[in-house]
Amino acid sequence: MMRTASLALSHLDAWLEAMRGPAGYGGPVVHWWGQCWRFTGAAADWRYEGIILGYLRLWERTAAEVWLARACRAANEVVEQALPSGGYRYSSFELNPSPFGTPHEAACDVALLRLALALRAAGRHAEAAERYAATAARNLQQVYANTLWDGETGGFRDVPSVPGFVPNKQATVAEASFALDEWQGTRTWTERYALPALRLIVRAQELTAGPNFGAIDQILTRSARGWSASGRYFPLYVARCLPALVDGAFRFQDPQMALAARHAAQFIVRRISPTGECPLIVYANGAIRRRPAWIAALGDLLRCLTVAQKVGGPPPPSALLDRLLAGQDANGGIRTAHGFAAILDGRSDPHLPEVRDVLHVAGWADKAFRYLADTVDPPPEPQPPFAEELDIACTFRGRRLRLLELPAELRLEYAGRTVYRWRKGQNWVTLDAIWLDVR
Amino acid sequence: MGNTDYVGGQQPGVPAVTGIRWDVETTIHALATAPPAWWRPPLDITRLLDLLAGLARPPVGIIAPDPTLLLPALIRLPSATVIAIPSGHAATSGQLAMIGAFIGAEPRMTTLSAVSPGSFRTVLWLDLHRPPTLVALRQVDRCLDGTGLLAMAIQSAAIAVPTLTTLRLRRTLQHAGLRIIWTCGFLGPRALVWSAVARLALTAGRLDRYDRYHAAMRAAYAERWPGALLCRTVVVLARGT
């Protein structure tokens, strides 16, 4: 298993190299509630969190300079996207192209700051470290603190004029706040922002006895009548709350945060099937949406559940890693999910995956990369991208397609005709079928 | 963190109409007070602009008095030039400053009368509620080089009810000597039905069904011609001949 996982890491690194263009890691995005298929430019969204921290970890574990070079290369690409406002130009993942994406910009900040801290500790690349930290600090100050922070509520909004607060996004900003304070040698960000943000996450937790005990609601909305919850629990996003809660529990010596993390981890593990499948959404009304079930993003489930063990959370089931590794294709890319066709109880062939299942997305694969970089035997050196064309039969809304991927391009064919083509490195695709044009 | 005063550059040959200077405080204020649609544009605007950004070939000119469209258009086409038309309807200097806060650069500006013939390979007409007159269309056509692309988007107040606006626009384009190559629409009757069903599910407390029907609405969002006649937002692509 470890040899397989180590190979998987090596192959995933090779695939990530094939997703690069002049400005960085690009590609289409698929997501449960929307896609970004036409814009494929390098995006300073959460893909850089896993990419930078994954390469950083490989360097820390092996001392091989090539990994540090890749981490710094990626960090430079985020810095290049910084705007005078402090935001990052294309940071909105499935909502791209657009700046001010959440939690994406904070996720980039976490990576920039952790890399800066590591460089400073190692006495390496001092100027670059300063630049990375300054870029992240400006984003946190100008976008998060000065624009999105709601001091009355004690949380970060998604949009300044809308009083909606997403717990997993509070968690990412809390992680960035901790890192910024470590860089600056202060406690300002920890106390002024991270602490109330973490308390907001705890507020969103379901504490009524029942199957959803420990779950964390997806969005809290504040109105004159008080707080209201969305009624949705996304196990993946509950997981992304765990590292910040655990870190907060130790920093603040706060047993409530530790308990919240433990209960949340227990909720997630209860929901994971014996085959490692985790439902997409659990509703407060008892309904469960199982599909699409994430594959590449299982890396974050694994990572976050592992962290929660520090406060007594259950270990991540081994089936999660099995499922993650089983989702890797021959070119090193990892499938995004299983079951996108079920969103619409679609007309697609039950024996073939939907195209969104098999599309390899940098911003999901980074989570697998980060986890594997931290846990499996690291490869001795990088290998080049696979030259062979990946050819996968798939479907979309009743039509049979072929997904064809080479290091230089990704395309979809329908009835022998190319209906979608992304030349890697280009910001926009050519798309020649209105039925394929979705967002 | 130092001050980050910024004054946008000027594209040679295309005179800038504004000279906006803004600093960090102004930027933050602009971001914080911008309407929600600036942060998260409506889906029909996003779909429309994604389509056009993929087809556009530089140099690009944009006619978009409404900043809710101009901003996401410039995010997708940052090197485009904004063309002010002589109708008295244009983004204010304050709005342009706010747009600059979002895109990190002062928008390049010019007026229709100042544009040299054949300056653009693509022109986007995004004045959704004011389709061009024949006179304006001929002026815009003059800005295009040879067989450059003209994309026009219009919006009607009604959905699922055929309007004459799209038909008139197509006829006007033809009278101006342009060749229509494609028409499509966003948010038509199919999407409207799914949206209504989704809201019913929400009212009934069935969040799970709301999510499914909302996904169905997004999947049914685009319509080809002639279904585009029934859509709220219609895009017509034409070329010079």
| H-helix or E-strand spanning residue A134 | helix A126-138
Q: What is the mean pLDDT of residues A204-215?
A: 97
More confident residue, B167 or A258: A258
Q: Do A97 and B75 touch (CB under 8 A)?
A: yes
Residues of A in contact with B206 (CB under 8 A): 285, 287
Q: Do A344 and B33 touch (CB under 8 A)?
A: no
In the chain, the amino acid numbered A303 is R
What is the least distance, in Å, from the CA of B136 to any CA of chain A? 30
CA distance B203 to B97: 41
pLDDT bin (cut points 50, 70, 90) of residue A78 is very high
Coil, strand or helix: which one is B147? strand
Q: Do B32 and A160 touch (CB under 8 A)?
A: yes
Residues of A in contact with B41 (CB under 8 A): 98
Q: Given this model, what pLDDT does residue B3 score?
A: 27
In which order are the strands placed within the sheet that holds A288-289? A232-233, A281-283, A288-289
Q: Given this model, what pLDDT does residue A391 score?
A: 97
pLDDT bin (cut points 50, 70, 90) of residue A347 is low
Q: Given this model, what pLDDT does residue B14 score?
A: 39
In terms of phi and psi (left: phi > 0; alpha: psi -120 to 50; beta: otherwise), the region of A81 is alpha
Instruction: Point out the least confidently predicted range of A70-84, A263-277, B124-138.
Output: B124-138
Q: Given this model, what pLDDT does residue B1 score?
A: 29
Search chain B and give the residue with CA nearest A289.
B208
CA distance A85 to A161: 18
pLDDT higher than threshold 80 for residue B20: no
What is the least distance, in Å, from the CA of A358 to any CA of chain B? 19
Q: Are A143 and A105 a contacting pair, CB within 8 Å?
A: yes
Residues of B in contact with A146 (CB under 8 A): 28, 32
Q: Given this model, what pLDDT does residue B28 score?
A: 84
> pLDDT averaged over chain A?
96
Q: What is the mean pLDDT of residues A16-43?
A: 96
Q: What is the pTM of this model?
A: 0.95
What is the least distance, in Å, from the CA of A231 to any CA of chain B? 8
Q: Given this model, what pLDDT does residue B161 score?
A: 67
| H-helix or E-strand spanning residue A237 | helix A235-239
Q: What is the mean pLDDT of residues A278-296?
A: 96
Q: pLDDT (tens digit, 9 = 90+) per residue, A125-171?
A: 999 999 999 999 999 999 999 999 999 999 999 999 999 999 999 99
Q: Given this model, what pLDDT does residue B129 score?
A: 86
**What is B162-217 written as a DSSP string?**
--HHHHHHHHHHHHTTPEEEEEEEES-HHHHHHHHHHHHHHHTT-HHHHHHHHHHH
Q: CA distances (Å), A377 to each of A55, A248, A270, A295, A301, in order?
A: 14, 30, 29, 21, 20
Nearest to residue B84, comparing CAs of B51, B127, B30, B20?
A: B127
Task: Give CA angle at A341 (A340, A347), nearest 5°.
Answer: 175
pLDDT higher than threshold 80 for residue A16: yes
Q: Nearest CB to B218: which of A34, A285, A429?
A: A34
CA distance B36 to A143: 15
pLDDT higher than threshold 50 for residue B18: no
Q: Given this model, what pLDDT does residue B4 score?
A: 26
> pLDDT averaged over chain B?
85
Q: Given this model, what pLDDT does residue A33 score?
A: 86
Nearest to residue B230, comparing CAs of B193, B186, B198, B195?
A: B186
pLDDT higher than threshold 70 for residue A6: yes
Search chain B and give the residue with CA nearest A148.
B32
Q: In this structure, are strands A288-289 and A281-283 parallel, antiparallel, or unpaired?
A: antiparallel
pLDDT bin (cut points 50, 70, 90) of residue A349 is low
ipTM higher than threshold 0.95: no
pLDDT bin (cut points 50, 70, 90) of residue B98 is confident
Q: pLDDT (tens digit, 9 = 90+) per residue, B38-77?
A: 999 999 999 999 999 999 999 999 999 899 999 999 999 9
What is the least distance, in Å, from the CA of B86 to any CA of chain A? 30
The percentage of chain A sitting over the pLDDT mark of 90, rounded to a whole number, equals 93
Q: Given this model, what pLDDT does residue B6 score?
A: 25
Q: Given this model, what pLDDT does residue B133 score?
A: 87
pLDDT higher than threshold 90 for residue B19: no
Q: Given this model, what pLDDT does residue A185 score?
A: 98
Q: Given this model, what pLDDT does residue A127 score?
A: 98
Residues of B in contact with A99 (CB under 8 A): 75, 102-103
Q: Do A439 and B43 touch (CB under 8 A)?
A: yes
pLDDT higher than threshold 80 for residue A111: yes
Cβ–Cβ contact B213 with A under 8 A: no
Task: Give CA angle at B57 (B52, B63), nearest 5°.
Answer: 55
Q: Nearest CB to B36: which of A34, A161, A439?
A: A161
End-to-end CA distance of chain B: 54
Q: What is the mean pLDDT of residues A311-338?
A: 97
pLDDT higher than threshold 90 for residue A350: no
Q: Given this model, what pLDDT does residue A231 score?
A: 96
Q: Given this model, what pLDDT does residue B94 score?
A: 82
* HEC-encoded secondary structure of A85-118: CCCECCCCHHHCCCCCCCCHHHHHHHHHHHHHHH
Q: A240: which 2 tokens?
A: 């992304």
* HEC-encoded secondary structure of A180-236: HHHHHCCCHHHHHHHHHHHHHHHHCECCCCCCCCCCECCCEEEECCEEEECCEECHH
Q: CA distances (Å), B31 to each of A276, B27, B103, B172, in order?
A: 42, 6, 11, 39
Instruction: Point out the least confidently predicted range of A1-5, A146-150, A275-279, A379-383.
Output: A1-5
What is the least distance, in Å, from the CA of B114 to any CA of chain A? 30
